[in-house]
């Protein structure tokens, strides 16, 4: 979790994500720590203690050296084997989010990116790593057609989709399921 001046946003995200006592939570921030970040970290630690959730471990990275920061975060990720990775963003410097994204993509491990908005009335967003994978994967001609038809008509049935694309219903259902699994369809 990147940490800037809004420790309350991170605490809200931790509560929403149902962080447990046995979970390991890292807070990633730029070094050197400035006064406001030190105070935010102290406040976050106190709030975590009060809520009974794990005290975050601080990981400072040199934000001026993007590639070294990515290497350091990736190295930290690799120390935790197959533990579930959940990235949380919503406060802090934007560069920290990019460092975390690149590091976790480079680790080639499944993850979830949770965006906890700072503004009231804006819904949180959760992005699975399968969406990133689907963006990087070149779709087949049939998958592109399925996506085009689904964008034009989100309510189309699998049967009608198969008829429109002149494929067997089972193929249409398989492609539709694949696009939904990858997060590219609703």
How many other C-beta atoms can be found within 10 angstroms of the C-beta atom of residue 46? Answer: 12
Domains in the chain, CATH or no CATH each: 7-134 (3.40.50.11700), 138-181 (1.10.10)
Q: Could you give the 3-state DSSP secondary structure of residue 132? A: helix
For residue 51, is pLDDT > 90? no
Q: What is the pLDDT of residues 12-35, one digit of tens each?
A: 888 888 988 889 988 888 888 888
Residue 59: which of 82, 18, 84, 87 has the closest Cα? 87
Element containing residue 89 per DSSP (H, E): strand 85-89
Q: What is the pLDDT of residues 64-113, one digit of tens each?
A: 999 999 999 999 999 988 888 888 776 667 788 889 889 988 888 898 88
Mean pLDDT for all residues in the chain: 82
**Pairwise CA distance, residues 73 & 117, whole Å:** 23
Output the pTM of the full model. Answer: 0.65
Q: Is the separation of the CB atoms in 117 and 123 below 8 Å?
A: yes
Q: CA dist 120 to 1, 13, 18, 123, Å?
A: 20, 13, 20, 8
């Amino acid at each position: 979790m990147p940490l800037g001046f809004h420790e309350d946003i991170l605490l809200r995200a931790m509560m929403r994500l149902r962080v447990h006592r046995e979970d390991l939570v890292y807070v990633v921030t730029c070094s050197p720590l400035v006064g406001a970040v030190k105070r935010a970290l102290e406040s976050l630690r106190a709030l975590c203690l009060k809520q009974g959730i794990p005290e975050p471990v601080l990981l400072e990275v040199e934000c001026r050296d993007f590639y070294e920061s990515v290497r350091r975060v990736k190295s930290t990720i690799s120390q935790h084997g197959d533990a579930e990775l959940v990235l949380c963003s919503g406060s802090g410097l934007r560069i920290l989010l990019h460092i975390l994204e690149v590091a976790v993509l480079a680790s080639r491990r499944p993850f979830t990116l949770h965006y906890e908005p700072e503004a009231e009335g804006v819904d949180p967003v959760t992005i699975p790593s399968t969406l990133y994978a689907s963006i990087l994967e070149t779709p087949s001609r049939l998958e592109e057609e399925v996506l085009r038809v689904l964008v034009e008509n989100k309510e189309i049935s699998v049967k009608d989709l198969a008829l429109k694309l002149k494929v067997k219903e089972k193929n249409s259902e398989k492609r539709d399921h694949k696009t939904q699994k990858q997060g590219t369809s609703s």
